[in-house]
Amino acid sequence: MKDIFEVQLTKKALKNLKKVPLYVTLKLQAWVNSVWHDGLCEARKIPGYHDEPLQRDRMGQRSIRLSKSYRAIYVIEKEERIYFVVILEVNKHGY
């Protein structure tokens, strides 16, 4: 699989972004820009995002940290031969 440079947001993620603080939205936009510019492999190396695979009922999904409280959940989708990131939701992480 080649590196991924495309990011899409679901309707749910766009709706979630209307309810979060502005700094959370700006940090997600910075991550999306990083993926578009450098690719997902490089964006995963940025330590502030703590990109990690999820477990249990979210197996196959990954999360990035947008703040201590907020996470963006994403999956990698494939349409024919093109791979892209789909951000499923932005939510407050429960501890």
Determine which helix (DSSP H) or strand (DSSP E) holds 15, and give its type and residue range: helix 11-17
Strand partners, 8: 86
Model pTM score? 0.89
Structural domain total, the chain: 1
pLDDT at 38: 95
In a domain, 71, yes or no: yes
In a domain, 1, yes or no: no
Q: Which residues of the chain have pLDDT under 70?
A: 1, 94-95
Please state, in angstroms and rounded to a whole number, the distance separating the CA atoms of residues 12 and 75: 14
Residue 58: which domain range? 7-92
Q: CATH number of the domain that 74 lies in? A: 3.30.2310.20
Q: Which residues, 6 or more positions from 17, have their beta carbon under 8 angstroms from its beta carbon?
A: 9, 24, 25, 28, 90
